[in-house]
Chains A and B, each alone.
Chain A
């Protein structure tokens, strides 16, 4: 089983739609969770951290389900500018400390 798994997509949605991505992780001891956004041929940029209680930032909502070991990202009222690849990132405990592990990403295409 991969340490972090995401549906690669692409998710093609019309502008204004609500879309949700899930990501599962294998290490139950993981403590830190993030969503990053990566535009084509650019570097990943931090979108939001994911907290146990869930958190919201404008049109974006992140949730954590520790029992089932998955995190989710909900995007409401999709914009054309939301088109990108969304990376799920989880910290994995190693002998030397914490290591962030990146999923392969879920591609989102928002269309007119």
Chain B
């Protein structure tokens, strides 16, 4: 089955620790995205990647880092510099970046900082 997978589903972290969230897609999509969702707020774009070996900051990139070494994979690292990391993190992909095509989402990772 084609789709997007994220792991883990739930993640608990102590303050001061970095943590990496996994995102894999087998849809052969060029573009991938990371969003954060907080209660009562819309999705906010953290980072996006138009193509392999390229990525750009979104609206709230501070305290986060990404890599795109393979087309299928776009991991997100939440660093200790992120002030309020507890949130629902969603990875998405689309055929391309520059034509406003629909995005498809993975099941998400709920991160809780203890």
Is B42 an interface residue, CB under 8 A from the partner?
yes
How far is B64's CA from A66's CA once the two chains are assembled, in angstroms?
37
Q: Which residues 19-71 in A have Cβ within 8 Å of B in the complex?
A: 31-32, 34, 41-46, 49
How far is B90's CA from A44's CA once the two chains are assembled, in angstroms?
9
User: Does the CB pair A32–B42 fall under 8 Å?
Assistant: no
Given contacts A4-B42, A44-B43, A46-B102, is CB(A98)–CB(B97) below 8 Å? yes
How far is B42's CA from A104's CA once the two chains are assembled, in angstroms?
4
Interface residues on B, range: 20 to 34
User: Does the CB pair A46–B104 fall under 8 Å?
Assistant: yes
**Which residues of A are found within 8 Å of B110, using beta-carbon distances?**
41
* Chain A residues bordering chain B, tally (CB within 8 A): 24
Chain A interface (Cβ within 8 Å of chain B)? 4, 8, 31-32, 34, 41-46, 49, 87, 91, 96-105
User: Would you list 18 pairs from A and B whose C-beta atoms are within 8 A, ordered by A residue?
Assistant: A32-B100, A41-B88, A42-B108, A43-B90, A43-B106, A43-B107, A44-B105, A46-B104, A87-B42, A87-B43, A96-B56, A98-B97, A99-B45, A100-B100, A102-B43, A103-B42, A104-B40, A104-B41
